[in-house]
Amino acid sequence: MRELLFNNVTIIGVGLLGASCALALKGRGLCGTVCGYGRKEANLRQAKDRGIIDEYSLEIRKACEHADLVILSTPVGSFKKIVREIRDVLKKNTLITDVGSVKGHLVKELEELMPEGVRYVGSHPIAGSDRSGIGNARADLFDGVSCIVTPSACSEKNAVQQITTLWESCGANVEIMDPMRHDEIYAAVSHLPHLIAYALVNTVDDSNAEYLKYAGPGFKDTTRIALSSPEMWRDISLLNRNNLIALIERFGNNLDIIASMIRNADAEGLEHEFSKARTLREKC
């Protein structure tokens, strides 16, 4: 039988990622009990009835008081508020991590909120989906995916190793990365595309909402991520604002180039731009 990594795990936010974490940990025998906390008791009760969690509490402090590991799986904008609420009930040597897609300055801010003896190491499993909720949770969600672990210069080596082992044991391929570099990269390959998808759908609506009923697979594939949680992407956008503003301006410049080529009937230039993008996309 595999040795337990943690006796008591608390998952704050039992949605797609939080529930999938619970299923992966329990299914692989990596923990003893999993306690869930969330805003909606009906969702928590369903998670317990389905065996995703072992118990739940509607009181966040009570949910965390016996935890060896706390996983933050709520919108990233709520992380600091949550830590402030639970910090004085956490046991010594409790480990805190998260599944958020923004790190950067947030890592330092969370570390500064940790009480003595409690350690925080950020993590970001690249396993999200536009389909949220426990109905879409899977024990194998993290199999073969990348998981970025973002320690700081202040992180304890043992804590970083524990979080690395956690995700590797759940099936992920772990890469250690500086928190600031993480935000630069994911602003470009994740955050900006989501903003563009939202803007694209709204642009069609600005033209004529009835056009949407004629959308084919191309439009639906391109804008699939616009189905993602507005609350989650609100927080991501604001917390990674500097990187995103720079990228939005760069994206606007590229659109201006294409618009100029169309305006000037520059067929050769358009084909060059499209071919360049196609070649780059084939390497993904």
Partners of 150 in the β-ladder: 122
Residue 234 and residue 214 in one domain? yes
CA 262 to chain centre: 37
Query: Is 47 contained in some domain?
Result: yes
pLDDT at 133: 80
Q: How far apart are CA 254 and CA 262, in angstroms?
A: 13
Give per-residue pLDDT as tens, 59-106.
999 999 999 999 999 999 999 999 999 999 999 999 999 999 999 999
Residue 152 and residue 258 in one domain? no
Identify the residue whose tokens are 């169309």.
262
CA 3 to chain centre: 28
Residue 125 and residue 240 in one domain? no
Residue 212 and residue 103 in one domain? no
Residue 193 and residue 163 in one domain? no
Of 144, 177, 210, which closes a domain? 177
The CATH number of whichever domain residue 205 belongs to comes to 1.10.3660.10
Q: How far apart are CA 78 and CA 85, in angstroms?
A: 11
Query: Is 164 contained in some domain?
Result: yes
The CATH number of whichever domain residue 142 belongs to comes to 3.40.50.720
Q: Reply yes or no on whether the pLDDT at 1 is more than 60.
A: no
Query: Is 160 contained in some domain?
Result: yes
Return phi, psi of residue 203, to 5°.
Answer: -65, -40
Q: Reply yes or no on whether the pLDDT at 129 is more than 70.
A: no
State the Cα torsion 138-126-7-3 to the nearest 10°: 90
Contact criterion met (CB below 8 Å) for 63 and 220? no
Q: How far apart are CA 29 and CA 55, in angstroms?
A: 17
Give me the percent of the chain exceeding a pLDDT of 70: 98
**141 three-class SS:** coil
State the Cα torsion 28-33-34-37 to the nearest 10°: 180
Average pLDDT, the chain: 95
Predicted confidence band at 135 (pLDDT cuts at 50, 70, 90)? confident
More confident of the two residues 130 and 225:
225
Of 121, 143, 177, which closes a domain? 177
In the DSSP assignment, the letter for residue 124 is: E
Query: Is 1 contained in some domain?
Result: no
Q: How far apart are CA 13 and CA 145, in angstroms?
A: 21
Contact criterion met (CB below 8 Å) for 191 and 237? yes
Residue 171 and residue 231 in one domain? no
Contact criterion met (CB below 8 Å) for 76 and 100? yes
| Residue 127 token pair | 């396993």
Query: Is 140 contained in some domain?
Result: yes
Residue 64 and residue 164 in one domain? yes
Of 177, 212, 229, which closes a domain? 177
Residue 155 and residue 251 in one domain? no
**93 three-class SS:** coil
Give per-residue pLDDT as tens, 232-265.
999 999 999 999 999 999 999 999 999 999 999 9
Predicted confidence band at 269 (pLDDT cuts at 50, 70, 90)? very high
Q: Reply yes or no on whether the pLDDT at 193 is more than 80.
A: yes
| Residue 25 token pair | 């940990």
- Is the pTM higher than 0.75? The answer reads yes
Residue 234 and residue 140 in one domain? no
Residue 63 and residue 164 in one domain? yes
pLDDT at 189: 97
Total domains in the fold of the chain: 2
Give per-residue pLDDT as tens, 163-181.
999 999 999 999 999 999 9
Residue 210 and residue 149 in one domain? no
- Residue span of the structural domain in which 236 resides: 181-282
Query: Is 31 contained in some domain?
Result: yes
Query: Is 100 contained in some domain?
Result: yes
Q: Reply yes or no on whether the pLDDT at 191 is more than 80.
A: yes
pLDDT at 130: 63
Return phi, psi of residue 52, to 5°.
Answer: -75, -40
Give per-residue pLDDT as tens, 198-233.
999 999 999 999 999 999 999 999 999 999 989 999
Q: What angle do CA 13, 19, 23 make, to 5 degrees?
A: 145
Please name the amino acid found at residue 64. C
Q: Reply yes or no on whether the pLDDT at 128 is more than 90.
A: no
Query: Is 246 contained in some domain?
Result: yes
Residue 108 and residue 243 in one domain? no
